[in-house]
Amino acid sequence: MGNCFSNINAGQSAVGATASALAVNAANDAVDSFLKSRGYSGLFSQVQLSLSASKLRDRDAFSKSDPMAVLYMKGRDGSLQEHGRTEVILNSLNPQWITKFNVTYQFEMVQTLVFRIYDVDSQFHNVNVKELKLEDQQFLGEVSCTLSEIVLKPGGKLVLDLFCEKDSGVAHKQKHGQLIIYAEEDFSSKTMAELALRCSGLESKDIFSKSDPFLVISKITETGVLVPICKTEVVKNNHSPRWKPLFLSVQQVGSKDSPLVIECFDFNSNGKHVSLGKIQKSLAGLEKLNLSGNGENLFIPTVAGQNGQNKILKSQFFVDKYLESINHTFLDYLAGGFKLNFMVAIDFTASNGNPRLHDSLHFIDPSGRPNPYQRAIQDVGGVLQYYDSDHKFPAWGFGARPIDGPVSHCFNLNGSSNYSEVEGVEGILNAYASALHNVKLAGPTLFGHVVTTAAQIAGESVARHERKYFVLLIITDGVITDLQETKDALVTASDLPLSILIVGVGGADFKEMEILDADKGERLQGSGGRVASRDIVQFVPMRDVVHQGEIGIVQSLLAELPSQFLTYVRGRGIRPSS
C-alpha cells in the first residue's frame, strides 16, 4: 500500500528515541498535523478483480447461456452504483472473463460488492456491453461480499455460491452455480522509491538563528490542486540540511512520470511555516537528477502580474540517492496470515449520567436508536470484525462499582471473573447492555489499567510468536485523571503489536486527551524520560466527526491504523508469510 516514511528502517517517520530528541519530535508531529490540514490522508491500495464462474444456469433453448458479469458498489445508504461490466462470453456455463475491475481498497471502510450475472440475448451480441439494457437480459444469479473478504483469502481467491429467487416470486434463494473472484494488488502499490534528499544555501527566515527546514512532497491532480503525500523530518537550525531517506510508493504518486512539487518550508511552532522555495519534478526527473550528480535551483512563484517569471533562488536541491525496490504492503501481511484482534473498553463513570434517564450517554433507547457508545462499537467493530477470524473480542468496562464490590478500573464486561471474551460485535453490545444493570456508575476516569491489560495480551502473543496485531477501542465521556500513568503504559505499549483508538463522547473538554495522540503535539514521554518508539494512539471526539458530515467516525479513527501496523512490522524486520 502506498505510504511515505522518512526513516532508513522503513516505518518510523522522524521518530526520536531519546528525551533529547523531544524538540525535534514536537516539530515533526506538528508537521503531521500541518499536512493533514492540507489534505493528506491514510493508506489506500489499488486492487484488480478477475472473475470466472462455474455451473451457471442454462437459459437458452438450443445453446448454452451467453454470460456477462456486472459489478456494483454498495453506498452508505444501501444504494447500488454500477462499477463496470465484463465482456459477453458466448455459449458457456463456465466462463472466464478477460475484463478486469480496478477498485480502490480502503481499510477504514466496509466496501460491499454485489456481482450479478446475466445471459445476454443473441440479438444484442453486437451491442457495446455498456449500452445493454439489463432489464432486457435474463438474470442468472447474484452474490455479495466485502472487498476485505476477498483480499484476506490466501492467494486472494474467494469462491461464492450464486443465488437467485425462484421464478414463482417466492423470496427463497436457490443456488445456481458459483462465482470465483480473484484479487491482485496493483504492482505499483509495492514499488517503492527510496530518496535521500538535501538542500544547500537555504535562505534564513529567522532573526536570531538559522532556518528549521523540512520538505513536503505533493502530487498535482488533473485540476491542478496540490495534494501532499509525503514529508521529511524537521532539521533544526541548518541552511544545508540532509534529511533521512524517504520511502515513497510509485502508486501513491500515480506513475514515474506524474508531476510532483517538492517544497521546502521553515518550521514555525505556530503552524505558519514559511516557504523557502520549491521545485517541480517527476520521480523520473528525480532519478535523472541523481544520476547527473548536479543540484537544481529552488524557485519562488511570482505574484500574478509580474511577467509570469518565477524567482530563481541561489538555494539548491540535490538527490543523493534514488533506488527503486519492492516492499511488502499491508495487504501482503493480511493475506500472509497476520490477524487483527479487536478489543474494547467502555467508560462506566458517573459523569455519563443515570442510564435510566433519557439525557444519559448510556441510555438504551427502546426504539433501537443507538447511543454514542453503541454507535462507536457498531461502527468500529463493523470494520474490524472482518479481520478477526475467530470473532472473539475481549471487552472490559472501567470506572464502575460491580455489585457488592469496590470500584473497578478494568472489569470483564460479560460479568465473568475468568474470561473477558464475547462473541462478535453483537456479543459486545449485549454484554454492554447487561452490564448497565449489574454495575453502579462511579469514577474516576482511569485508562492505565485497561491499557496495561491490553498490552499484557499483546505481549503474551509476541512471546508465543503469534502473527497478531491488537486494536483496543476505548470509549469515554471524560478527561482522564491518571494522565501520567496512562502515558507510562502507552510508552511501554509502543513496543508491542498494539494500536489504541479513543472515542470521546458527550460535551466534555477533551483538550487534555489530545496529548495522548501524537498527531496533536509532542511524542509521548514516560515519567522516567523514555520516549514512545512510535505513535499508537488515535483520538477522535465524536461531536467533531458528526460535524464533518459524510466522514464517519470509523474513517477518522481507522485511517492511520495500517501505517501504525506497518511501522511496527517493518521496524522489526517482520515479513509476511509466503
Q: What is the pLDDT of residues 262-280, one digit of tens each?
A: 999 998 887 789 999 999 9
Tell me the mean pLDDT in the region 316-341. Answer: 90
Q: Which of 42-56, 314-328, 509-523 has the lowest mean pLDDT?
A: 509-523
Confidence at 522, pLDDT banded by 50, 70, 90: low
For the chain, the structural domain boundaries read: 45-187, 191-326, 335-572
Cell numbers standing for residue 463: 512471546
Binning pLDDT at 50, 70 and 90, where does residue 8 land?
A: very low
CA distance 238 to 561: 33
Q: CATH classification of 335-572 is 3.40.50.300, yes or no?
A: no
Res. 578 pLDDT band, cuts 50 70 90: low
Give yes or no for a contact between 16 and 532, defined as CB atoms under 8 angstroms apart: no
Instruction: Return the C-alpha cell found at 38.
Output: 492540507
Q: Which residue has the cell 511552532?
A: 269
Average pLDDT over residues 217-240: 86
Nearest to 228 by CA among 195, 262, 199, 194: 262
Mean pLDDT of 397-412: 92
Q: Which of 425, 403, 399 is nearest to 346 (CA)?
A: 399
What would the mean pLDDT of 217-231 be, rounded to a whole number?
A: 83
Q: What is the Cα–Cα distance from 463 to 514, expressed in whole angstroms?
A: 32
Class of domain 191-326 as given by CATH: mainly beta
45-187 and 335-572 in the same fold: no
CB within 8 Å of 533: residues ≥ 6 apart: 12, 15, 17, 494, 495, 571
The class that CATH gives domain 45-187 is mainly beta
So what's the pLDDT on residue 190?
Answer: 77
The answer to whether the pTM exceeds 0.85 is no
Average pLDDT score over residue span 460-472: 96
Surface-to-core class of residue 306, CB atoms within 10 Å of its CB (0-12 exposed, 13-18 middle, 19+ buried): exposed
CB atoms under 10 Å from CB of 370, counted, come to 14
pLDDT at residue 146 in the model: 95
Collect all residues with Cβ–Cβ distance below 8 Å to 232 and sequence separation of at least 6.
6, 14, 197, 214, 215, 243, 244, 246
